[in-house]
Amino acid sequence: MRPSENFLSEAVRLREEKNSRRSLRIPEGIDFYSNDYLGFARSQAIIGSYQTKIQGLSQLGATGSRLLGGQHSLHQALEERISRLFRSEAALLLSSGYLANLGLIQCLGMDHTLIMDELCHNSMRNGAKLSGSKTLFFRHNDLEHLEKRLRDNPGSLILVESVYSMDGDLSPLTDIVALARTYQAEVVVDEAHAIGVLGPEGKGLVVQENLEAEILARVVTFGKAFGAEGAAILGSSRLKKFLVNFCQSFIYTTGVSLPNLLMLESAFEHFSASPHELKALQANVRYFSQEIGRDLASPIFSWSTPGNAAARAQAVELQAQGFAAYPVLAPTVKQGSERIRLVLHAFNTREEIQTLAQIMRQHA
Ligand SMILES: Cc1ncc(COP(=O)(O)O)c(C=O)c1O
């Protein structure tokens, strides 16, 4: 027996005991689970454009860190495109949203106390841990609690998401920015579930609320509504220069590969040229809201099914009816907050949405 075998199997056995063992499965059924909000991951128009573009490639991998020979004119061009698209002075590409949050918060934390919404994503929490800086949490979307934290720690860095990934609710961003101004604080916003989703242009909450100039850094991720992968940190040119020097998840890793850059280019071109998917997504959110009698702020809906066993059973029942949806179990969420995370898309049909709402009503 290998020395680590006991530890490996015991850790998984404990998960099993708590009904929370994770495993990999290929999804089957009508998609009410994925983050492919606009359907871009399977868009034939985008795939076609990408296929044309890669014909011209004479290089695949970036071949190294962008600081050590891995920089290509396509990185530069795409970062300029991203800056224009999301109205920021500068953009820095990273391989994923996880790495963007990790590296951004690790290096900004060097000079700040961090004050984070308690529901911020695991990547932001781990970025805070890596920074080694003092980290405080405020109750989810609770402005009074945030103000108390700021009063005790002026000049801190506030970390929030614009659309919270589990419940789909929005951050009161304009109010948070006002508090930041009062207490000389800075704000970092993770827009992972907001870009391609919110506002008439789908450019996220910061653009929708005209806060570009007020926010120190935005993280936009491309594995969700843009159907690809990768992420960018948006902010000033000064911020970008700082990140190129201090953001470890940018410095110590191979640059984004060229086919990936072209995939992103195709997705951005399609996004800029075609408003149809965004309109269809927003219409479906309104339709589902009517059907379930709740006003959803985003395409994410959390169907509360407390207990890991109950959440699993509900997901199995949905799957039996042809719907693919996943339970979110403790410890990913707090015990008692287990749920089915439902996600609406541009491509879901009215009939599918109606049937789903009907199943939910039967269990109300
Ligand atoms: C809020 C939030 N931020 C960041 C990430 C990480 O993004 P990526 O999947 O690009 O690593 C996720 C992914 O689930 C997320 O939900």
Does the C-beta of 191 come closer than 6 Å to ligand 1?
Answer: no
Pairing state between β 326-328 and 339-343 = antiparallel
Alpha-helical regions (H) of the chain: 5-17, 44-55, 73-86, 97-108, 122-131, 143-152, 173-182, 205-208, 237-246, 248-251, 258-273, 276-292, 308-320, 350-362
Indicate whether 112 belongs to any domain.
yes
**Do 328 and 340 fall into the same domain?**
yes
**Do 347 and 209 fall into the same domain?**
no
**Do 266 and 279 fall into the same domain?**
no
**Do 90 and 105 fall into the same domain?**
yes
d(CA 300, CA 187): 24
**Which CATH number belongs to the domain containing residue 316 in this structure?**
3.90.1150.10
Indicate whether 222 belongs to any domain.
yes
User: What pLDDT shows up at residue 24?
Assistant: 86
Indicate whether 11 belongs to any domain.
no
Indicate whether 7 belongs to any domain.
no
**Do 251 and 146 fall into the same domain?**
yes
The yes-or-no verdict on residue 216 having pLDDT over 80 is yes
Question: Across residues 332-353, what is the average pLDDT?
Answer: 93
d(CA 247, CA 231): 14
Does the C-beta of 231 come closer than 6 Å to ligand 1?
Answer: yes
Residue 90 in 3-state DSSP? Answer: strand
The yes-or-no verdict on residue 1 having pLDDT over 80 is no
**Do 173 and 128 fall into the same domain?**
yes
Indicate whether 9 belongs to any domain.
no
d(CA 300, CA 240): 31
User: What pLDDT shows up at residue 363?
Assistant: 78
The yes-or-no verdict on residue 299 having pLDDT over 80 is yes
**Do 231 and 178 fall into the same domain?**
yes
The yes-or-no verdict on residue 122 having pLDDT over 90 is yes
Indicate whether 140 belongs to any domain.
yes
Range(s) of the domain holding residue 32? 25-43+275-362
**Do 92 and 212 fall into the same domain?**
yes
307: how many CB neighbours lie within 10 A of its CB?
16
**Do 143 and 186 fall into the same domain?**
yes
Does the C-beta of 161 come closer than 6 Å to ligand 1?
Answer: yes
Which strands, in side-by-side order, build the sheet including 326-328? 300-304, 339-343, 326-328
61-107, pLDDT tens digit by residue?
Answer: 999 999 999 999 999 999 999 999 999 999 999 999 999 999 999 99
Out of 243, 273, 303, a domain closes at 273
**Do 155 and 177 fall into the same domain?**
yes
DSSP result, 281-329: HHHHHHHHHHHHT---SSSEEEEE--SHHHHHHHHHHHHHTTEE-EEE-
**Which CATH number belongs to the domain containing residue 106 in this structure?**
3.40.640.10
Out of 216, 249, 273, a domain closes at 273
Residue identifier of the C-alpha nearest atom 10 of ligand 1: 97
The yes-or-no verdict on residue 329 having pLDDT over 80 is yes
Indicate whether 349 belongs to any domain.
yes
Domains: count for the chain: 2
User: What pLDDT shows up at residue 332?
Assistant: 83
**Do 238 and 261 fall into the same domain?**
yes
Indicate whether 206 belongs to any domain.
yes
d(CA 78, CA 92): 9
Q: Are 126 and 102 in contact (CB under 8 A)?
A: yes
Dihedral sign for Cα atoms in the order 125, 233, 161, 159: positive
**Do 227 and 237 fall into the same domain?**
yes
User: What pLDDT shows up at residue 353?
Assistant: 97
Out of 209, 241, 273, a domain closes at 273
User: What pLDDT shows up at residue 333?
Assistant: 85
Does the C-beta of 165 come closer than 6 Å to ligand 1?
Answer: yes
Give me ligand 1 centre to Cα 192, in Å. 6
User: What pLDDT shows up at residue 189?
Assistant: 98
Dihedral sign for Cα atoms in the order 110, 170, 272, 59: positive
Residue 283 contacts by C-beta under 8 Å, 6 or more apart in sequence?
none
Question: Across residues 289-313, what is the average pLDDT?
Answer: 92
CA dist list (Å): 315 to 30, 192, 209: 13, 25, 36
Q: How confident is the model at residue 292 (pLDDT cuts 50, 70, 90)?
A: very high
Does the C-beta of 35 come closer than 6 Å to ligand 1?
Answer: no
Residue 265 in 3-state DSSP? Answer: helix
